[in-house]
Structure 1
Amino acid sequence: MNLASIRVITADVARLVAFYERVTGVEARWSTEDFAELVTASATVAVASTRTVPLFAPGAARPADNHTVIIEFLVEDVDHLYRDLAAFLEDVVQAPTTMPWGNRSLLFRDPDGNLVNFFTPVTPAATARLAR
């Protein structure tokens, strides 16, 4: 089994897609005005309109209401990205910090309030754990 994607439901697809394009450097692939995907080497971040929710189960997902999931991106140099994005990011939760498990992490919120973590393994154990 492989994780294929994370889908974020939003009331403003264009705004959220533009945000993720800017922070990731990945150009979105649009299917409709209600659905776009940012495809990376290992997984996809899908962004979908609230209008898509009834296709699955009415009321099953609510935009800007996530308090449990962190969308994580493995990046080459988290400190470099932070310097590039600092003026753009409106809600930095934690500047780059080395975590006890060996990752250097930048935690911020997207425009809908979802937590995003950019991280770089900085210890030999973290590097080995994340080797693919």
Structure 2
Amino acid sequence: MNLSSVRIITADIKRLVAFYETATGMSFTWYTDDFAELRTPLAALAIGSTRTLALFGGDAVASAASNRSVIIEFQVPDVDNSYQQIAGHIEEGIVQKPTTMPWGNRSLLFRDTDGNLVNFFTPLTQEAKKRTEA
């Protein structure tokens, strides 16, 4: 089994896709007006509008902009450099500026426009690097 993607449900798909395109420097593929996806070599970040909930049983299935337990993580080559590039874009949502964590990653934690936590990280120690090898 392979993790294929993580999907965010949002009430403002254009705003959220634009946020992630700016933060990552990567483009999403739009499949419909209600569904877009950012594909990486290991998995994808999918974003669906609240209108897609009807396909899964209705509005009670998920609630946009209400996540308080999941962190969406992106491994980046140099988290300090990434921070310098996007600081102005994420300024209001910064939770923690680049910090070296006890498990060997350097990490930048911020919130997207829906309030979801996002972590950009760079493995620093050999052990941390081994954990992230594909």
In 2, the alpha carbon distance for the partners of 1:123 and 1:104 equals 10
Contact 1:26-1:39 at 8 Å conserved across structures: no
* TM-score (norm. length: structure 2): 0.96
Q: Which residue of 1 aligns with 2:4?
A: 4
**1:57, distance to aligned residue in structure 2 (A):** 2.0
In 2, the alpha carbon distance for the partners of 1:19 and 1:54 equals 25
Q: Percent identity?
A: 60
**1:54, distance to aligned residue in structure 2 (A):** 1.6
* Secondary structure in 2 matching 1:18: helix
Q: Which residue of 1 aligns with 2:24?
A: 24
Q: Which residue of 2 aligns with 1:93?
A: 95
**1:88, distance to aligned residue in structure 2 (A):** 1.0
In 1, the alpha carbon distance for the partners of 2:131 and 2:39 equals 23
Q: Give 2:113's aligned amino acid.
A: P
In 2, the alpha carbon distance for the partners of 1:5 and 1:60 equals 18
In 1, the alpha carbon distance for the partners of 2:48 and 2:40 equals 17
Q: For this pair of structures, how many residues does the alignment match?
A: 132
Contact 1:79-1:96 at 8 Å conserved across structures: yes
* TM-score (norm. length: structure 1): 0.97
Q: Which residue of 2 aligns with 1:53?
A: 53
Q: Which residue of 1 aligns with 2:121?
A: 119
Question: Higher helix proportion, which one?
Answer: 2
Contact 1:94-1:108 at 8 Å conserved across structures: yes
In 1, the alpha carbon distance for the partners of 2:62 and 2:33 equals 18
In structure 2, stretches of 5+ residues that fail to align are none
Q: Give 1:35's aligned amino acid.
A: F
Residue deviations 1:9-35, cap 9 Å, x none? 000000000001111111110011111
Task: Give the CA RMSD over aligned residues.
Answer: 0.7
Residue deviations 1:28-76, cap 9 Å, x none? 1001111100111111110000000121121110000000000000110
In structure 1, stretches of 5+ residues that fail to align are none
Q: Which residue of 1 aligns with 2:106?
A: 104
